Chain A
Amino acid sequence: MSKTERTGVVRDINGPIVTVELPGIRHGEQVKIGDLGLFGEVISLNGDRAVVQTYESTDGVRPGEPAQGLGWPLSVELGPGLMGGIFDGVQRPLEKIALQSGDYIRRGIDVAALDRSRQWAFEPNRDLESGQPVGPGTRLGSVQETETVLHQILVPPGIHGELEEIAPAGEYDIESTIARVRAANGHSERLRMYHRWPVRTPRPYLRRDDGIAPLITGQRVIDTFFPQLKGGKGAVPGPFGAGKTVVQQQIARWSNADIVIYVGCGERGNELVDVLETFPELDDPYTGRKLMERTLLVANTSNMPVVAREASVYVGITMAEYYRDMGYDVVMLADSTSRWAEALREVSGRLGQMPVEEGYPAYLASRLAAVYERAGRVQTHGDRSGSVTLIGAVSPPGGDFSEPVTSHTKDIIETFWALSKELADARHYPSIDWVTSFSGHVHTAAQWWHEQVDPSWEERRREALALLARDAELSRIVNLVGPEALSSSQRWDLEAAALIKEGVLQQSALDEIDTFCSPEKQFALLDLALTIYDLGTELVSRGVPVQELQRLPLLSRARRVKSLYKSEQLDEIEAFRAETEQALENLRLEYAKQEEQA
């Protein structure tokens, strides 16, 4: 990256797309536009003219104003001080901006992402000695970034050589030199606790690994039915109000990831405020620490400039890769990738590019795939194992899943949590439709569940899904000819499916107890419902009328167990289950007696 600054002139302003005359400018280079100094990025070149997409509103800019090439592409700062923060789509710290420009975002503000004045307690890696060869990923030391996150200071990509010196333990700001490395050509490189990285370039790693462990989200329909792996890619499509944001926020809250990056991309301001206001109060169920300590927000709300929205996803994923390189399991949530795609569409439209479907440019699919491709579990330079799980919300117009963004996304991802308007309208939450959703990770996840929770997990899961499939079939019949057409065992199937839906699948994010459900409790609830089903089936086959079973109060109680007992109260659930078995057994005996008497 050369640091030479070039100057030129603004020629045309068409909304966020500005044409400048700037000889020698490069594709992708950052440009400062006009007297206000608005930031933008070159997206196409034609002779001496460059087309720049600007991250801020161009109101008031005139042809003839100056333009300046900055010599580097859109990059982010990577170092301690990111966690717990909220940044805009080009990584400007919104809390600091609020201090400088008030409640509304003023244009042309230039604030660095990382705080220069803050001191960090640097603890050097004691195993390193000067003279030792170091390379990308070599651990120089660490700082405690938040109570939960130990921030590893690593040699950045691209730096190889011999360690000349390393700073002793102490308080440093991020501009201080904490190590020097002599490269093969004799040049001595100063290393600080932070470096910059161009967001459109994936950060390098040693190799890719397969995912092995499920990402536990504490949400039953996800973990038990459509599991995601650490390092996986998933999508949550659904019409407005179906629950995409709630699913994503629940994952941000309760997943067993080390780091959570939440990208609010073209969505509501209040949804980010919700995270900002509640996460500092919520306890991480795994560490007991406050959730905000491991969370970072990127916010380009729907009313913020559309070009920065396109950038925000890359800014988010680059930070995710950075923490992955430290050996962490990172989850990045992007709400919503459709708004990101629309930003692409808007820019391509203004450039006069040929649209292919619904106004989207031909490169939509490849861009989408390239973004998702940055997820994965990897062996890092420096030999750590880390992962980025990427989960994108998709907002199909009119809830139509055949539209371009949903259909291309579906081809790329491995886990598809399809939200249904019908379920949402009936307030069945999460409204993840068990018929159209899928997970390519069930088999891998099963190994984990079998070792950690119960060896019959995969079988129980299958039984439940089979019952739900039967339920769908039978419901169709009922809707055609009425319930009278069903046999009593079929009616019991419907009853048991209702129990699975209400007692297992439905999970209110607002229920204090049920908002998070441990894997053990998930299995206990599933097994409880299926046990009732199995025993009931036997009773029905012996001639016990379904109404007798329906009348049992424990059946309605079984639907509440999820919010009666916390994840730790497995014994209580077990006791309830024993009680249930007993009640059903009593019914069997009673019935047998009646039979005998008759």
Chain B
Amino acid sequence: MSIKEYRTAAEARGGLLVMKNTPGVAFGDRVSIEDHTGGIRNGQVIRASEDSVLILVFEGVEDLDLENTWVRFLDAPVEIALSPELLGREFNGLGEPRDGRPPILSSLRRAVGGSAINPAARTYPREFIQTGVSTIDGLNSLVRGQKLPIFTGSGLPHNRLAAQIVRQARLKNEDAAFSIVFAAMGVSYADAKFFRDEFASSGVLRNVVMFVNLADDPPVERLTLPRTALTAAEYLAYDLDRHVLVVMTDMTYYAEALREVATAKGDVPARKGYPGYLYSDLAEIYERCGRIHNRHGSITMMPVVSMPSDDITHPIPDLTGYITEGQIVLSRELDNQGIYPPVHISPSLSRLMKDGIGKDDTREDHPRVAAQLYALYARALETRNLASIIGADELSTHDRRYLTFADAFDRRFVGQAETEDRSIEATLDLAWELMSIFPKDALTRVSEADIGKYYQEEDEAQAAAAAGGPSSGTTTAVQSYGTRRQKKRKSGSGAQPSTV
């Protein structure tokens, strides 16, 4: 079919172009638009009928002179060229080079829209990834093939955390590094540069593909960027057998671009002006991650989602949380106290943790330690609250232990240096050190066997308590794991029943 050119543009608004009298145009097809200056813009057909066609213009419709706009329907979906040469390169949302180097030449081109993975072809993700970050590894473990977003707020160190994870993430008994697909939507030049420098200085740049749309680039292009990036990720994972870690930042700008276009189209809004299909649209992106039977590679996803006004119930984090397999939530309060990474564990969750941890994967006590820490911390936060009302002096000795624990937990378990790569064993040992602030009877989530094996007797626990006591202040620098006292582990693993 020959490619026809039309000059029948009838209307342009909010990233959309309406063409009249363009019969036989396929829904979803790619469009090339030549404006009056001779500049080329790209578009996609989002509604096709006999007498008119609606086009989404990725570069926007600013300054279009309808009389002098030439539109060519390319009779192909939006697609990118794929080859191993992608690695080390930087592209825009349409897969065009941004690094001044020539475009990828390859006969292999794939539509960026992708199609749904057959659930019957998926394999349940179960391989523990050690990120070296205690709040993640210990309490919200990430597994290969999981989608685990970072929920954050403006000014919080989500980029530093994402970069730390990219640097440190590895399987426990494997050296194979991840290939990184980095997708930036609407971020600042400085943020993009931070990641670029970060990849360069940690020497992984040759293992990274970057797709970048900056804050001052056309917003509509953000709609296709994650899809382009994921098509590249799928290629790396399933054609080249690599384990791919996709970092996407910031999904909130993606959703805002979607809202902009939806409003222009006149779609019925659901909440806060976002279209009702935002959920399905986000799911199309997030669900491209996972593991597939008989395929060596995998796609693990770590989107960054900033919560407008720190509100986790805002539609973007809310719908994301409904799709992803958990979330890591950053807290402004912890950040204000100088705690890095400021992960608030209570609203954080990893749903795929259960099959990736325990005896054969990390350590046998891991699932119960996580449950115990959560229970203690929940009660500790209540106690903190109470103390702020009635004063810490009014608390019972038992309750004061919770205060001690809360502070030690925030400073030493949550807090760690940006360069500190804690092994999972170190994380769990630290957990026991903190749990041993309490008498054994208070630890009802761990088994009696765990207590027998890992509980630290009084003297050490007191040392720990002293190290983390509330009097020592909460904004001090992070105390590194290495300085804590080594516990002496009891031999044998037999149950040590606490007597009745």
Say yes or no: A63 contacts B24, CB within 8 Å. Answer: yes
Say yes or no: A103 contacts B117, CB within 8 Å. Answer: yes
Question: CA–CA, A480 to B390, complex, Å?
Answer: 8
State the Cβ distance, A411 to closest chain B Cβ, in Å: 21
Say yes or no: A61 contacts B26, CB within 8 Å. Answer: yes
State the Cβ distance, B64 to closest chain A Cβ, in Å: 23
A426 at the interface (CB under 8 A from B): yes
Q: Which residue of A lies closest to B396 (CB)?
A: A483
Q: Which of B251-307 contact A (CB under 8 A)?
A: 267-271, 275-277, 279-280, 283-284, 286-288, 290, 292-293, 295
B407 at the interface (CB under 8 A from A): no
Partner of A12, one of B48, B114, B267, B284: B48
Question: CA–CA, A583 to B238, complex, Å?
Answer: 63
Question: CA–CA, A342 to B315, complex, Å?
Answer: 14
Question: CA–CA, A59 to B283, complex, Å?
Answer: 18
Say yes or no: B441 contacts A556, CB within 8 Å. Answer: yes
B378 at the interface (CB under 8 A from A): yes
Residue numbers in A under 8 Å from B88 (CB-CB): none
Q: Which of A48-80 contact B (CB under 8 A)?
A: 57-64
Question: CA–CA, A560 to B450, complex, Å?
Answer: 14
Q: Which residue of B lies closest to A302 (CB)?
A: B283
Say which size band chain A's interface belongs to.
35 or more
Say yes or no: A346 contacts B23, CB within 8 Å. Answer: no
Q: Which of B113, B267, B313 has the most CB of A within 10 A?
A: B313
State the Cβ distance, A188 to closest chain B Cβ, in Å: 40
Say which size band chain B's interface belongs to.
35 or more
Q: Which of B118-138 contact A (CB under 8 A)?
A: 118-125
State the Cβ distance, B231 to closest chain A Cβ, in Å: 12
Q: Which residue of A lies closest to B327 (CB)?
A: A241
B28 at the interface (CB under 8 A from A): yes
Residue numbers in B under 8 Å from A484 (CB-CB): 390, 394
State the Cβ distance, B294 to closest chain A Cβ, in Å: 9
B215 at the interface (CB under 8 A from A): no
Question: CA–CA, A555 to B499, complex, Å?
Answer: 11
Residue numbers in A under 8 Å from B268 (CB-CB): 345, 349, 355, 359
Q: Which of A63, A274, A483 has the most CB of B within 10 A?
A: A63
B12 at the interface (CB under 8 A from A): no
Question: CA–CA, A345 to B238, complex, Å?
Answer: 36
Say yes or no: B47 contacts A13, CB within 8 Å. Answer: yes
Question: CA–CA, A555 to B441, complex, Å?
Answer: 9
Say yes or no: B50 contacts A358, CB within 8 Å. Answer: no
Say yes or no: B444 contacts A502, CB within 8 Å. Answer: yes
Question: CA–CA, A86 to B121, complex, Å?
Answer: 11
Question: CA–CA, A301 to B26, complex, Å?
Answer: 26
Q: Which of A392-448 contact B (CB under 8 A)?
A: 395, 397-400, 421, 425-428
B323 at the interface (CB under 8 A from A): yes
Residue numbers in B under 8 Å from A183 (CB-CB): none
Say yes or no: B50 contacts A64, CB within 8 Å. Answer: yes
A240 at the interface (CB under 8 A from B): yes
Q: Which residue of A lies closest to B121 (CB)?
A: A103
Residue numbers in A under 8 Å from B286 (CB-CB): 303
Segment at the A interface, from B55-63, B346-354, B474-482 = B346-354
Q: Which residue of B lies closest to A303 (CB)?
A: B287
State the Cβ distance, B148 to closest chain A Cβ, in Å: 12
B6 at the interface (CB under 8 A from A): no
How many contacts A-B (CB < 8 Å)? 227
Say yes or no: B322 contacts A240, CB within 8 Å. Answer: yes
State the Cβ distance, B374 to closest chain A Cβ, in Å: 4
With A13-B48, A483-B396, A557-B500 known as contacts, the answer to whether A268 contacts B287 (CB < 8 A) is yes
Contact indicator per residue, chain A 258-289, by CB within 8 Å of chain B (1) or not (0): 00000010101110111011000000000000
Say yes or no: B352 contacts A270, CB within 8 Å. Answer: yes
Segment at the B interface, from A92-100, A113-121, A218-226, A456-464 = A92-100
Say yes or no: B115 contacts A57, CB within 8 Å. Answer: yes
Say yes or no: B48 contacts A397, CB within 8 Å. Answer: no
A598 at the interface (CB under 8 A from B): no
Q: Which of A59, A102, A345, A349 has the most CB of B within 10 A?
A: A59
A206 at the interface (CB under 8 A from B): no
Partner of A104, one of B115, B327, B374: B115
A14 at the interface (CB under 8 A from B): yes
B240 at the interface (CB under 8 A from A): no
Question: CA–CA, A110 to B124, complex, Å?
Answer: 27
A304 at the interface (CB under 8 A from B): yes
Q: Which residue of A lies closest to B347 (CB)?
A: A425
Residue numbers in B under 8 Å from A556 (CB-CB): 441-442, 444, 498
Contact indicator per residue, chain A 118-154, by CB within 8 Å of chain B (1) or not (0): 0000000000000000000000000000000000000
B106 at the interface (CB under 8 A from A): no
Partner of B118, one of A63, A105, A583: A105
Q: Which of A1-60 contact B (CB under 8 A)?
A: 11-15, 19, 57-60
Question: CA–CA, A57 to B379, complex, Å?
Answer: 49
Residue numbers in B under 8 Å from A421 (CB-CB): 347
Say yes or no: B277 contacts A306, CB within 8 Å. Answer: yes
Partner of B47, one of A14, A277, A479: A14
Say yes or no: A268 contacts B120, CB within 8 Å. Answer: no
With A61-B27, A346-B280 known as contacts, the answer to whether A427 contacts B119 (CB < 8 A) is no
Residue numbers in A under 8 Å from B114 (CB-CB): 104
Partner of A276, one of B120, B269, B389: B120
With A19-B49, A397-B271, A426-B346 known as contacts, the answer to whether A98 contacts B120 (CB < 8 A) is yes
Residue numbers in B under 8 Å from A525 (CB-CB): none
Q: Which residue of B lies closest to A17 (CB)?
A: B47
With A426-B346, A579-B500 known as contacts, the answer to whether A273 contacts B115 (CB < 8 A) is no
Residue numbers in B under 8 Å from A303 (CB-CB): 116-117, 280, 283-284, 286-288
State the Cβ distance, A362 to closest chain B Cβ, in Å: 13
A482 at the interface (CB under 8 A from B): yes
Say yes or no: B313 contacts A60, CB within 8 Å. Answer: no
Residue numbers in A under 8 Å from B346 (CB-CB): 425-426
Contact indicator per residue, chain B 322-346, by CB within 8 Å of chain A (1) or not (0): 1101110000000000000000001
Question: CA–CA, A557 to B367, complex, Å?
Answer: 20
Say yes or no: B371 contacts A94, CB within 8 Å. Answer: no
Given A339-B279, A560-B444, output 12 extra A-B contacts at Cβ < 8 Å.
A104-B118, A105-B115, A239-B321, A270-B290, A301-B116, A303-B116, A303-B286, A342-B280, A349-B268, A358-B270, A425-B346, A557-B498
A contact set with B: CB distance below 8 Å: 11-15, 19, 57-64, 86, 94-95, 97-98, 101-107, 239-241, 264, 266, 268-270, 272-274, 276-277, 299, 301-306, 339, 342, 345-346, 349, 355, 358-359, 395, 397-400, 421, 425-428, 478-484, 502, 508, 510, 553-557, 559-560, 579, 583
- Top 10 A-B pairs, shortest CB-CB distance: A398-B313, A302-B283, A59-B28, A426-B378, A12-B49, A482-B390, A303-B287, A240-B321, A349-B268, A427-B374
